[in-house]
A and B are shown apart, each in its own frame.
Chain A
Amino acid sequence: MEKLTPPVIEELELLVKLKEFDALNSNEKAFVLKHLTEVEYHTMRKFYATINTISLPKKHEILPDEELKLQLMQRFQSNKSTFKISSFLNAKIPLYQVAAAAILFFVLGFVFTPKSINQTSVHDTIQVVKYLVNPIDTSFKNALQSPKLATKNVIAKSQKQNKIKKTEHYYEVQPRNPIEEYHRQMAIMQVNRVKREKVGSSLANEPEISGMIVPSI
C-alpha cells in the first residue's frame, strides 16, 4: 500500500470530517478515490462523527481519593524540611561551567607549582658528633669556628694510649643554622668542664682549649 504524505493525509482528513462522499466534487472525489475506497471513506466519516459526540459516561469518571491528597501533602511537608540539602545535591551545573572550572584548576596547577612558593630549606649533613670523654688528657686542635669553611675538626689526643684518637664531626653550615650555635655552646661546655677538672689551673698553658672559646654569632 502506498504511504501517504502528511499534506495528503491532512487533506483527506479534512474532507472526511467535512463532507459526505456524495457531496465531494469531481476533483475531490478523484483525489479521495486515489487513496481510499468509498467504503473506507464512509467508515472513517462515521467514526469521526461518533467519536466527536461521545463522552465517557459520568459514572465511569474517577475522582481522586481524599487520602491521596493527604499523603501527598505529608510528603510535601517532609520534603520541605530536607529541601536545602536535596536542592544542593540535585543542583544542575551547566556543562560549560564544569569545563571552565576544570580548565581553571589545570592552569592554576601550573602557576602555583611548589617551586613558586617562597620557602627555605636547610640541608644538613651531620656526622655523629662525639664529644671528648677524657677531658684531662684531651687537647683540642683547631678552633671550632672557622670563618670560611663549614667543616669542623676536633682532634682528641689520648695521653694514656699515647696515640691520636680522631673524632671528627662534619657538617655543612647554612646561614643562621642553629647547629652552629649548638656546637659553639657544646664547645664552651667542654672548655668549662676542663677548667673545672683542672682546678686552680689557668688556661694559659692550654692555648688550644682557650682557642675554643669562640665569639657568639
Chain B
Amino acid sequence: MTARPFSLQAVKNQINMRRGIGVAVILALFCSAAFSQTRNVEGTVQDAADSTGLPGVNVVVQGTSRGTSTDLNGHYSLDLNEGDNTLVFTFIGYETQTVTVGNRTTINIALAQEVKALQEVVVVGYGEQKKSDITGSTANVDGKILAEQPVLTATQAMQGKLAGVQIISSGQPGSSPQVRIRGVSTALAGTSPLYVVDGVLTDDISNINTADIVDVNVLKDASASAIYGSRGANGVIIITTKKGKAGDMHISYNNSIGIQQATNLVKMANAAEYDNYVQAASGSPPPASDYNTDWYGVILRNAWQQNHNISLSGGTDKSTYLLNTSYLDDQGIVIDNDFKRWTIRLNTEYNIRKNLKFGVLSSFGNSINENGFNNLDIDAYGNIGSVYNDAYRASPIVPSIIDGKYGNTSAYQNVGNPLLDIKDNKIRVNDNRLQGSSYLKFEPVTWLSLKSSFGVDWDYSSNRGYYYKFLADDQTFLNAGGNQQRTRSNLAVSQTQWMHWVWDNTATITRQFGKNNLVFLVGTTAEKYTNQYLYGTRDDVPADPNLWYIGVGDANTSKNNGTGDAWARNSYLARLNYNFDEKYLLTANFRADGSSLLPSQNRWREYPSLGLAWILTNESFMQAQHLFDMLKLRASYGKVGNDKIPTGSYSQVVTLNQAYAFNGSSSAATNGAKIEQIVDPNITWETTVETDGAVEFGLLRNRLTGEVDYYNKKVQNALINVPIQRTVGDIDGLVLTNVASIQNRGLEANLNWRNTINDNWSYHVGANATLNKNKVVALNGGQAIYGGSIGAAQGFTTYTDNGLPVGSFYVLQVIGVFNSDEEVSDYKASDGTVIQPSAKPGDFKYQDTNGDGKIDDSDRIFAGSYQPKAYFGLNGGVNYKAWDLSLSLYGNEGNEVYNGKKAVRIDARDNVESDVVYNRWTSQNHTQTEPRANSGNLPASTYFVESGSFVRINNVTVGYTLPKDKLEKVGIQSLRIFATSQNLLTLKKFSGFTPELPGTPLDSGIELSAYPTTRTIAMGVNITL
C-alpha cells in the first residue's frame, strides 16, 4: 500500500517553489527550501487496534507541504517553523487525525482504521477510487475470503459472494468456471468477462494462485466498465495481487489437505432391476448373468486434494517484496485423472525517489493435467460415446474387468466399456504461463501522477494424446465381438503458444479548488497478441511411453495442422471524477478503441459513459437525523462493447485444402482452394448500452450496509446469421452480421450486517440476490438459432427466437401417458386424424401444437430457460475468542435444465435409473409422468426438462487460532488450524448429477456428460513466522 506523500491541501502552497523545466528538474520538486527552524516534535504512531507501530504514516504541517513519514517502528521526528501549530496524520486505510501541537514536543498518536465498507479504496481500471466516490456499479470481495475455500480457481471461490455475478462451475480439475455478469448478453459472440490481473488483460485466470490475490473488484455496469471500452460488455473482473509491506520479513505457510467425493450420484438399476425392466421393454429377459456392476462405482473414486502455499514478504521504506509459491494436486474423482499445478509469484516495488516508484509484479505457473475428464470425450477414432454416457448406458449384467480382460459391453449392447474408455488412452495437457507487469510511476508535482506500465502474458501448452491399439477379440475382452476396438494405435501431439503484451501510459491530475475535487485521467494503451498452433498425428506408434514421439509412427499416416493469429490494438482513454463537497459526484469515462481486427474503414469505436451520485448524508439537512450514517443515490449510463467475435469474420478468406484427385487413386490429389463465403465487410463488435440506478446506505453506525441496483442492459447489434439465397453459392447460406438485439433487465441487492458485541464475540452476515430477465428483443431478419443438439432421436433442444430468453428449451409437450388403446384411438385432431396411431398403452401422449394431426418438430413448445430468474448468496461468520466459523450458501431459482443423459438411452438393453424401474407406467400403475418400459430413443420433450433450482452450502470452515503468548516463545507469530468443507450439502429438485451446467449461450443447462458435484472435506494450517 502506498501512502500519499502529501495531502491535497498542500498542493496549492507549492506553486511558488522554484524549479526548472524538464524531467531532471521536476525530480527536484520536493527538495526543501531553506527555512528557519525553531523547534522539534517527535513521537510514535500506533495502530489503535493492536498498539503496534505504524510505518509510513504521513505527518504534515497543516497548510504546508512540509512533513515526514514514520519509520519502521512508527516513530517520527519533525522540525516545526514558527506558526506551525497543527499536524495532520494520514495513512491509507486509517482515519486521518489532526492534532494541535501547543507546547508539546512529544506527540504519540493512535490511528483508528477507517470504517471499511465506506472508505475502502477500490481499483477501478487505470486507477483507484474511494468506494464512496464511485458512481457506477461495482462489487468487491476480499482475497482472504477466496483463499479460504479448497477450490481450484479464484473464480469458483467468488461464487455467491457478489450480487449480479453468476458463476457456473463444473468443479472438474483444470476447467475454468463460466461467469455471467448481469445475464447472457450475446448469442453468437463470446461471453467471458475481461479479467485484469495487475493491469494485464486476459480471458482466463486459472493460472492464478488464489492465495496471491488481495482483492477482486468487479465492474458490473457499463458506466464502470466503459473505461475498458470494447471489452466491457461482459463485465470486468479486476484482480490485485498481494504486495510486500515495509517492516520485518514475514514468512507464512498455509496448506489444506482433503478428500473429495462425488455427491448426488444418480442411482442406476442393479442387475435385478435391470432384468425386470429389459424384460418389460423388449419382451424377453436379458441373458443370465452373475454380475451386478455399478459402473459409476467403477469409474469414480474418492480423491485426494492438497494445496500448499509458502509466502515470504517484507521490505523497507525503499523497497518491498513478496514471494509466493504454491503447489496444488487435485486428483479428480474420475479414475486416472491427476491435475497438478505449481505457481510462483514475485512482486517487488521500489521507491527510487520520493516521487518515483518502480514495481515488478510477476507470476509463473505450470499445470499438468493427466487424463482430464474433459479429454475423455475426445476420441480420434470415434470410439463409442463418451465415458459418462457409456457409464449411464452400460448394463449392470456385464462385468467391468476380470483378470485383465474387459467385459464386452459393446458386443452385448453396442456401448463402450466405460472402464476401457478411460484406460484405452493417455492424455496429458501441460501448460506453462508467465504473466506479469512492471511499472514506473512518477509524480513531478503532487497533483500530477504519470504512470507507464508494461504487462506481458505468455503461454505455452503442449498436449499429447496416446490411443492404444486393441481389438475386439478375446485378448482384450472376456468374449470377442462388438466394435469397441482400435485397429491401429495413434499418437496426437499439439503445441500452442501465445503472447500478449499491453503497454499503458496514463497521466492523472488530482486537484482541489475550494469544495471542488477533481481527478482527471488521460491515457493511451497499445497491445499486441500473437498465437501459434501446431498439431501432428501418426498411427502405429508403439505402446511404450518412451516411444511416444511422432517420428516413431508410420509416416504414411501422418497428418498435421497449424494455425496462427495476431492482432494489435490501440486505445485512448479519459476519465473525469468530479465531486462538489463530497456531496455531488460525477464520473465521465471515454475510451476509443482501434483494432486490427476491424476493417480499416471502421476501425475505431468509441465508448462513453456518465455516472452521477448524490451523497445525501453529507448534506447539512441530513445532519440532524441519526438513522442513516450513509445514504447515496446514483445513476449511470454507458456504452460498452463485446469484441469476442471471430477473428477475420469481416474478411473474405480463401478456404484451403479443397483438393481433387485428377489421377484418381493413381497419385495423390492436387491441392485446391475455394472462396465460399459471402461476408459482411462491416461486421463489428457488439455494442451494449446500459443504464443503472442504485441506492447505497449505511445504518446503525454502519453496522448495516447495503446497496440495491436496477439495471437495464441492451445489446444493440448482436451477431446473428442472416439467411441468404443459396443461389449465391455461400456454403452455409448464412451471412454473419450485427442486427439482433438482446436485453437483460434486473435488480440486485446486497446487504451486510457486521457487529462486534464485545472483545470475545463478533459476527457478520452478508446476503446478496439478483433478479434477471433476459430476452431476445428482435432478431431483425436473423435466423432463429437451434442449439443444444444431443444426438440420438432428440436433435436440437434449444431455440433462440424473438421475445424469448437466449437458448430456451424447445421441445414437445408431454400431456400424459396413454392408459389404453381406446385412449390412443380417441386422441384425434380436429379433422379426425388419429394423432399418434402407432402409440401403445404406456407411451407418452404429446401435444399436437399446430393441430395438423401428427407429432413432429413443428409441435415443439418453449419449455423454459437455463437462465435463472434469481440467484443468491448468503455468507456469514462468527468469531468467538480464538474460534472462528464461517458459512456460505449459494443457490438459484427459476431455471430449467435438460436431463440430456437420460436421453442418450437408445436401446432396450441400455441401463435405466433405478427410480424409472419402479415408477414406470404399468397396467397397474397408471402414472402420467413416466412411460412404460421402453427402448429409449424418446423425442425431445418436457419429460427431460426439469427444475434447475438449487441451494448449496458452498463452504463451512471452522478455525482455531492458537494463543499468541505461547507461540511467541517458539518464534511463531500466529498459528491457526482449520477444517473446511466445500459443497457440503446441495438441495435440488433435479434428478441428475448437478444443475450447474456451463455451456455456450445456445446450449447451456444440458446435462450430457456432466461432471458430478464434488464434495471436499479438508484440514489445514495457517502459520506465520
A associates with B = no
Binding site for A on B (CB under 8 A): none
